[in-house]
Amino acid sequence: MRLTHLISLIAGLAAVSVPGRSIGAPFDPPALYLQWQRDPTTTMTIHWHTVGEAKSGLLHRPVGGAAWQAAAGTAQPFVGTDRWVHTVELTQLRPATDYEFCFSPGEKVFKFRTMPQDLRQPVRFVTGGDVYHEYKWMDLMYGLAGRLDPAFVVLGGDLAYAHGGTNEERITRWFDYFAAWKTNAIAPDGRIIPMLVTIGNHEVKGSAGQPPENARSFYTLFAAPGAQGYACLDFGKYLSLVLLDSNHTHPIVGAQTDWLKGQLAARTSIPHVIPFYHTPAYPGYRSETGSHAEQIRANWCPLFDQYGVKLVFENHDHCFKRTHPIRGGNLDPTGTVYLGDGAWGVNLRTPDPGKPKWYIAQSGPIRHLYLVTLYPEARHVLAFNEAGQIFDEVYQQLD
């Protein structure tokens, strides 16, 4: 063993000691989930929870690699619980490579895969939102997501419903949220599927127009989209995910819109630029005259038109919806398709067939997720219901 590896291993052993744990009991954290804060082709952010305080660190190596490398991270209390949230960001990884990690030598080993640098092989991801009303619904859909073998999942807000109508934080719902994820959101080859998120009203005390301090759990639990509350994540030169905050802890109008314009303007050569946010511009169930819907249509949708964004994912309305292509606030075959509307694991709302909305092509009370496949020249979206049946699709040829 080379000296540097030995030093790394010793450092790792020191970093990953877990106080209070019984000798010989393998450490298997109650919550374990992956995210990306930057370049998904060469980094991975690993989050896990411990009961009580512990130092943050783990060991990792390419699958089949010889030497474990230690990586240290940070830990912060999950205020209101007895848990700590740990974060390690691995960097300088190889693209499209399987890695394994563990918390101590000889203990349980977990796997992940970095993203490829290009679209020579199609890239597949899952998205949906409004996740956890009933555990059994959330659980079922996580399992379906895992079986579809996506590279990652994007969940567009209203995750654990920790903040309900009373604004008292039902904080242990996060434990359920992550327990179900850890059990089910595993690809067929055993690797953990990364989870990207946007913020929704049920992550926030006061729902909307609040300071980030009112969503303390969200900002503690997830390194991404990060303290700014919104972010753009670039995958090579083929995909950019735009994760937005629809006025829960950051206003739609002003700084976020200015930022969005700059981000989209800088990515006109990227074939797949896809925004995700919680409150819909074109609601499937609620009134289109809601203030958030109007603000998004006035501020973000013109930017989608200007910079050629053709596919947007919205949530919050607890139904399925697919809009006609929309451009300039009108039906236009060259426009943007808005998919939604947040019905992963929640009670459903039924759009009134007697009051059709001008922009809706299809809608209905269907719990669902979307499987998106990206090709160099096209993208294909399949909508799956909770029985795993495909019930809708979108195919977009790139310009």
Give me the residues that bind Fe ion (CB under 5 A), please: 158, 200-201, 316
* Min separation Cβ 13 and Fe ion, Å: 44
- DSSP secondary structure string for all residues of 27-58: P--S-EEEE-SS-TTT-EEEEEEEES----EE
113 or 316: CB nearest Fe ion: 316
What residue spans of the chain are helical by DSSP H? 3-15, 135-147, 173-184, 216-221, 255-265, 291-299, 301-306
Is the separation of the CB atoms in 327 and 305 below 8 Å?
Answer: yes
158 or 392: CB nearest Fe ion: 158
201 or 323: CB nearest Fe ion: 201
Residue 303's Cβ-count burial label (10 Å; 0-12, 13-18, 19+) is middle
187 or 293: CB nearest Fe ion: 293
* Min separation Cβ 10 and Fe ion, Å: 48
* Min separation Cβ 150 and Fe ion, Å: 23
* Min separation Cβ 302 and Fe ion, Å: 24
Instruction: Give residue number: closest CB to Fe ion.
Output: 316
Among 266, 259, 265, 221, which residue's Cα sits nearest to residue 243? 259
Q: How many CA atoms lie within 13 A of 289 on its CB side?
A: 0
69, two tokens: 């490398």
* Min separation Cβ 278 and Fe ion, Å: 6
For residue 385, give every residue at least 6 positions away whose Cβ sits within 8 Å of its Cβ, in sequence order, or none.
366, 367, 368, 391
Phi, psi (5° rounding) for residue 5?
A: -65, -40
* Min separation Cβ 248 and Fe ion, Å: 9
198 or 263: CB nearest Fe ion: 198
* Min separation Cβ 224 and Fe ion, Å: 20
318: left (phi over 0), alpha (psi -120 to 50) or beta: left
279 or 336: CB nearest Fe ion: 279
